Amino acid sequence: MVHPDDQERAWARWRHSLATGEPYEIEYRLRHRSGAYRWTLGRAQPVRDPDGRIVRWIGTCTDIDEARRTAEQKDLLGRELSHRIQNIFAVVSGLIALSARQHPEAKGFAADLRERIAALGRAHELVRPNTEEGSLFPGAPPCAR
């Protein structure tokens, strides 16, 4: 039932929970009755006896497929927009360089302006929402880390 690409990660997380008693939480793909794989949030909590020993696990599987796919589309759009913004910075910088060649007296001003455009590009890289730290689904889900 678990997608082949997710099996090892899911089993490793489950083995970790069994060994440590930590709650189990992971996002993985399960085969739906239609035959298609859908993203699922699996969670399990240990139930302990009065001495603290785990006597059973209680868990749920929640279909998060639509939310996951929506987040992936937003992430793709964010990366595309970021790429286009960087391209705009490059075009503006190139236009400044061309203008400086035609007007040598503005060479110093043009160099300063190009450095400011480059700084904007660097600042954009630091704050854009689609970096590994800010992305909703950058590779392995956060709960699997």
**pLDDT exceeds 60 at position 130:** no
Residue 24 in contact with residue 51, Cβ under 8 Å? no
Residue-wise burial string across 48-85, b where 16 or more C-beta atoms lie within 10 A, e elsewhere: eeeeeeeeeeeeeeeeebeebeeeeeebeebeeebeee
- The CA distances from residue 56 to 45, 46, 52, 78, 81, in Å, are 9, 6, 12, 43, 48
What's the whole-model pTM score?
0.62
* Least-confidence region, from 78-87, 103-112, 120-129: 120-129
- Average pLDDT over the chain, rounded to an integer: 88
Condensed to tens digits (0 to 9), the pLDDT of residues 21-52 reads 999 999 999 999 999 999 999 999 999 999 99
